[in-house]
Structure 1
Amino acid sequence: MSWHGADDPVPGNAFSCDAIRTLIVPRSRDLGSFAVRRALPSTECRMVGPFVFFDQMGPSEFVLGQGMDVRPHPHIGLSSVTYLFDGEIMHRDSLGTELPIRPGELNWMTAGRGITHSERTGSALRQTGSRLFGLQSWVALSARDEETAPAFEHYDAGALPIVSGEGKTVRLIAGDAYGARSPVRTSSPMVYADVTLQAGSVLPLDAEYDERAIYTVSGAIEIAGDGFGPGQLLVFRPGDRISVRATEDSRFMVLGGEPMDGPRHLWWNFVSSRPERIAQAKEDWRQGRFDTVPNDAEFIPLPEDPPPVRYP
């Protein structure tokens, strides 16, 4: 497999860290049984393409009897994307879906006009203890799709294309790259990929989209002579071609896309291009008008007043 452009000379400042617009070190938030690190939204960067939210879950270890318990809660205007490196989560939603997700698989839940779901550790794993390590992101829907019917799609690990060679392996979650195309249907042009590099390998990142970033998961990488460790979001300037070199065996996510078709507002679990739509969703959840999750009677009450975040 030949990686197009990996060793080509690159004009301008593509090999200068001037190509990195923003470096985000996610803040950690303790959810009781496990911790999350939130890279998006941040004060430095609100969105990368359609990605309006990006969380690292764990790595955490649950002792006997413990696990993840995210009670039923609502969403509108987004696709929730869950991808695991370790562990297992049982997904249930108001469409009647009840399905575990495991490492390398993909859960792509489109909220559209409204969906309710829960995420929990299954009863069998609670009897043995388990681990959890993965990512959850929200992808904002285009304005034309914000009120689409809710949907859920699960992709087995074998359904996502893999491009490998020369010490590089790219599992393409969404979009197309390196001659491969993901089967995942998206609301707008975007790319999302899971990359592993052996020490010394180099991955080129072309400037296909104006908004691009990588999130470092493990190992150590180098860009234009500067090194970066795990748990950092590197947001690149538009137009620059990047080369990422692994100084040790490494893993990172590539994410990006075109700028959204207008501003986005976020309040709690709701994303919309229209603030009045978020106000309606708040009242709908308060009044119990969202569909419920079968066999899961609990729910997260509407917060009193979480700070709204506007996405320019």
Structure 2
Amino acid sequence: MSNSDLIIEERSRDIGDFMVGRLIPFRKKRMVGPFIFIDHMGPSKIGPGSYLDVDVHPHIGLSTLTFLLDGEIVHQDSLGTNKKIVPGSVNWMVAGKGVTHTERTPESMRDGQTYGLHGYQIWVALPKELEFMEPEFHHLDKSELPSWTDGTAEFVLVAGKGFGKESPLPVHSELFMVEIKTTEDYTLEINSQLEGEIGICIVEGSIQACEHSLDAGNMLVSKTDNACNLTMKAGTHIFLFGGKPFPEERYISWNWVATEKETLAQAKQDWIDKKYPKVPGDDSYVPFPGKS
């Protein structure tokens, strides 16, 4: 793997074999494989006055992947889905030509007590030929995801293909998302175990990469596809994600992803004109941010 120096963004840098950033997108790396957006939720506390209540909002051109480490969220969408996600399970919503949804704290947790909430909300861009496909929703319980151990490390294949295994989550491009936890120091060696670009998200603990120690909250992107080596320190928790990049550029506007800017402009107008499908039983509406 080659070495070069570049400054990506504040608190982001190049350390040799890896670029280091604060999740994606960042200035020098807009996507990792088909992954275009990763949002780290928490860890935080929810309770009276601070429940999660994300009103009806739209998506097009992407799939959303929600993965919780702590807490619970109820997902409802315009397909009629009403599904609670708990730690270790996966919600996968394919927006395609257009979908709306909400994310809320379950009624069972609105009891005056305080609860934790921690997880990741991820956008995966759809291939150009599937950009306007019919929306879908899929949920997998933790027990349905492939899991295995290697020494002191525990692996879970959340999505896609990797390490000779395949998740049953019905994805639409060549990608992977792998969760790894270790109780002792562990050397992670990836040699053609994953296909495409590789991102590494440090959830907890620290890793040693290219003689640099990196703590939780950082994301690394390997400069070489299909291979990277690093040491996970004892008590570390990471995610590997990525895959084969698309040949076309992607554009983002608010909650929308598209290969053409004109599609984003139309999506905005359709939302302002309230032409999107509705979430049954929920008349809430998140206006387009800023001036229309």
Assess same fold via TM > 0.5. Answer: yes
Question: What CA distance in whole angstroms lies between the structure 1 residues aligned with 2:15 and 2:191?
Answer: 15
| Matching residue within 14, 17, 23 for 1:19 | 17
Give the alignment of 1:89-238 within 5 angstroms. Answer: 89-127=73-111, 128-207=113-192, 208-238=194-224
Letter of the 1:92 counterpart: Q
Letter of the 1:99 counterpart: K
122 and 264 in structure 1: CA distance in 2 versus 1, 3 angstrom threshold: same
**Are residue 284 (structure 1) and residue 270 (structure 2) matched?**
yes
Any unmatched runs of 5+ in structure 2?
4-13
| Residue in structure 2 matched with residue 301 of structure 1 by the alignment | 287
| Residue in structure 2 matched with residue 310 of structure 1 by the alignment | none
Q: CA deviation at 1:179?
A: 2.2
Once the two structures are superposed, what CA deviation does each residue of 1:189-234 show, in whole Å capped at 9, x if it has no partner? 0111111122211221235434211000001111233211101010
Q: Which piece of structure 1 moves more, 98-107 or 124-133?
A: 124-133
Secondary structure at 1:118 match in 2: strand
Secondary structure at 1:276 match in 2: helix
Give the alignment of 1:6-45 within 5 angstroms. Answer: 17-20=15-18, 22-24=19-21, 26=22, 39-45=23-29
| Residue in structure 2 matched with residue 46 of structure 1 by the alignment | 30
- Does structure 1 conserve the Cα–Cα contact (< 8 Å) formed by 2:16 and 2:210? no
Secondary structure at 1:175 match in 2: strand
Once the two structures are superposed, what CA deviation does each residue of 1:71-100 show, in whole Å capped at 9, x if it has no partner? 110000000000000000010000111111
Question: What CA distance in whole angstroms lies between the structure 1 residues aligned with 2:241 and 2:191?
Answer: 12
TM-score w.r.t. the length of structure 2 is 0.91
| Residue in structure 2 matched with residue 71 of structure 1 by the alignment | 55
Question: What CA distance in whole angstroms lies between the structure 1 residues aligned with 2:215 and 2:33?
Answer: 23
- Does structure 2 conserve the Cα–Cα contact (< 8 Å) formed by 1:19 and 1:240? no
Q: CA deviation at 1:270?
A: 0.6
- Does structure 1 conserve the Cα–Cα contact (< 8 Å) formed by 2:68 and 2:120? yes
Question: What CA distance in whole angstroms lies between the structure 2 residues aligned with 1:213 and 1:165?
Answer: 20
Identity of aligned residues (%): 35
Question: What CA distance in whole angstroms lies between the structure 2 residues aligned with 1:52 and 1:242?
Answer: 21
Letter of the 2:128 counterpart: A
Question: What CA distance in whole angstroms lies between the structure 2 residues aligned with 1:217 and 1:87?
Answer: 16
Secondary structure at 2:247 match in 1: coil
Question: What CA distance in whole angstroms lies between the structure 1 residues aligned with 2:86 and 2:63?
Answer: 19
Once the two structures are superposed, what CA deviation does each residue of 1:15-72 show, in whole Å capped at 9, x if it has no partner? x95211x211x3xxxxxxxxxxxx2112232111101100100000123353111111
147 and 224 in structure 1: CA distance in 2 versus 1, 3 angstrom threshold: same
Q: CA deviation at 1:278?
A: 1.1
Secondary structure at 1:186 match in 2: coil
Q: CA deviation at 1:261?
A: 2.8
Q: CA deviation at 1:302?
A: 1.4
Q: Which piece of structure 1 moves more, 134-143 or 166-175?
A: 166-175
Once the two structures are superposed, what CA deviation does each residue of 1:283-303 show, in whole Å capped at 9, x if it has no partner? 111111101111221110112
Between the two proteins, the alignment pairs up a number of residues equal to 280
Q: CA deviation at 1:13?
A: 6.1
| Residue in structure 2 matched with residue 269 of structure 1 by the alignment | 255
What is the Cα-based RMSD across aligned positions, in Å? 1.8
| Matching residue within 14, 23, 39 for 1:55 | 39
240 and 227 in structure 1: CA distance in 2 versus 1, 3 angstrom threshold: farther
Letter of the 1:284 counterpart: D
Question: What CA distance in whole angstroms lies between the structure 1 residues aligned with 2:72 and 2:163?
Answer: 29
